[in-house]
């Protein structure tokens, strides 16, 4: 299987998204249900592609470390699939929270993913508990609720495959991807108290035109300065983000669901370490003074070929 078919990890963001995280129960029907689930995910993707070819609709399933073990999935495990360990800085912490299965549903038409979520939930409800569901949406020209464009540094074209999918370094899981997610809540009152110029220094870009500040102007603790990372030899390290804003005006809860696909989790972990501990330590990402991570979970996204095997 030299070129396994990946799930839709490199699709570009679109207008509507549903994120779901489920925790599996100790149920004798769990493994049978998981087989059915893998078949359902494949069916949903094939069906929406045939029925709504222009909708850019897809369903991506990720599997956590705990679930991989209790479901008796193949061993050895993907090389970097573990339970995420919190990254604690002097002031802010990238928390670790549970999660066995993650679903990333996206489409231009929300009706499609709404029906997808219903079918997945009907199947899983007897054997699992829903612990997170977020409905994300495109905000203006791909901006977060904070008002700045999100995802400008995302790779494009063939680079998306290179940075998002495992290559020959882990032949057994080639074409798979490491999925890391965090739910961030924004303190909009504090953020709104900053001037536009102060906000731009936090991010490292202009608010209106999304232009990155020059290195001699950009603060060393700006989000751009710390989230853009390099390898030991100066090589560029990237992840494929598909962040989406969410919010409830009546309750005042506003946030960003951070979601990244990467060929190696160590790349994402290095970025998180820069942000939360700082580079150098103590020089943490200033955006964390206004955005709090309340979840943090690592999953592995198997290929479609593996889902087919899992389905029995």
| Mean pLDDT (whole number) for 81-91 | 98
Structure confidence at residue 3 (pLDDT): 85
Burial class (CB in 10 A: 0-12, 13-18, 19+), 288: buried
List the catalytic residue out of 11, 108, 150, 216. Answer: 150
| Mean pLDDT (whole number) for 205-222 | 97
Structure confidence at residue 4 (pLDDT): 94
- Whole-model pTM: value is 0.97
Considering only residues 234 and 64, tell me which one the structure prediction assigns the higher pLDDT.
64
| Mean pLDDT (whole number) for 9-17 | 95
Q: Which residue has the tokens 């399933």?
A: 61
Structure confidence at residue 2 (pLDDT): 63
Structure confidence at residue 233 (pLDDT): 87
**Residues shown for the chain:** 312
Contact 204, 216 (CB under 8 A): no
Encode pLDDT of 106-159 as tens digits: 999 999 999 999 999 999 999 999 999 999 999 999 999 999 999 999 999 999
Share of the chain above pLDDT 70, in %: 99
Rounded to an integer, what distance in angstroms lies between the CA atom of residue 244 and that of residue 144?
Answer: 7
Residues 164, 50, 114: CA angle, nearest 5 degrees: 70
Helix (H) or strand (E) holding 186: strand 177-186
Encode pLDDT of 35-61 as tens digits: 999 999 999 999 999 999 999 999 999
The answer, yes or no, to whether residue 28 has pLDDT greater than 90, is yes
**Domain definitions of the chain by residue range:** 16-310
Mean pLDDT of the chain: 97
Phi and psi angles of residue 105, each rounded to the nearest 5 degrees, phi first: -105, 130
Contact 106, 17 (CB under 8 A): yes
Structure confidence at residue 217 (pLDDT): 96
Encode pLDDT of 226-281 as tens digits: 999 988 888 889 999 999 999 999 999 999 999 999 999 999 999 999 999 999 99
Peptide bond before 280: cis, by omega within 30 degrees of 0? yes
* 161, HSE (Cβ side, Cα atoms, 13 Å): 10
The answer, yes or no, to whether residue 1 has pLDDT greater than 70, is no
150 tagged catalytic? yes
Structure confidence at residue 312 (pLDDT): 87
Structure confidence at residue 87 (pLDDT): 98
Structure confidence at residue 7 (pLDDT): 98
């Amino acid at each position: 299987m030299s070129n396994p078919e990946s799930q839709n990890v490199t699709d570009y963001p679109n207008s509507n998204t549903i994120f779901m995280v489920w925790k599996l129960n100790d149920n004798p029907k769990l493994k049978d249900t998981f087989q059915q689930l893998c078949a359902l995910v494949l069916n949903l993707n094939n069906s929406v592609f045939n029925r709504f070819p222009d909708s850019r609709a897809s369903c991506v399933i990720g599997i956590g470390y705990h679930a991989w073990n209790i479901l008796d999935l193949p061993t050895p495990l993907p090389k970097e699939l573990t339970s995420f360990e919190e990254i604690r800085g002097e002031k802010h912490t990238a928390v670790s929270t549970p999660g066995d299965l993650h679903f990333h549903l996206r489409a231009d038409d929300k009706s499609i993913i709404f029906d997808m979520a219903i079918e997945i939930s009907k199947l899983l409800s007897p054997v699992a508990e829903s612990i997170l569901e977020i409905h994300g949406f495109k905000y203006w020209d791909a901006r977060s609720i904070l008002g700045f464009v999100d995802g400008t540094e995302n790779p494009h074209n063939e680079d998306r495959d290179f940075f998002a999918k495992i290559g020959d370094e882990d032949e057994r899981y080639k074409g798979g991807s490491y999925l890391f997610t965090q739910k961030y809540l924004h303190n909009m009152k504090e953020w709104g108290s900053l001037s536009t110029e102060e906000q731009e220094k936090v991010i490292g870009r202009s608010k209106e035109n999304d232009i990155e500040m020059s290195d001699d102007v950009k603060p060393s603790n700006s989000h751009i300065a710390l989230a853009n990372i390099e390898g030991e030899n100066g090589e560029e390290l990237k992840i494929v983000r598909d962040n989406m804003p969410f919010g409830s005006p009546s309750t005042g809860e506003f946030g960003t669901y951070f979601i990244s696909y990467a060929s190696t989790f160590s790349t994402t972990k290095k970025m998180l370490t820069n942000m939360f501990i700082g580079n150098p330590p103590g020089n943490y990402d200033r955006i964390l003074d206004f955005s709090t991570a309340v979840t943090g979970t690592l999953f592995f996204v198997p290929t479609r070929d593996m889902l087919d095997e899992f389905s029995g």
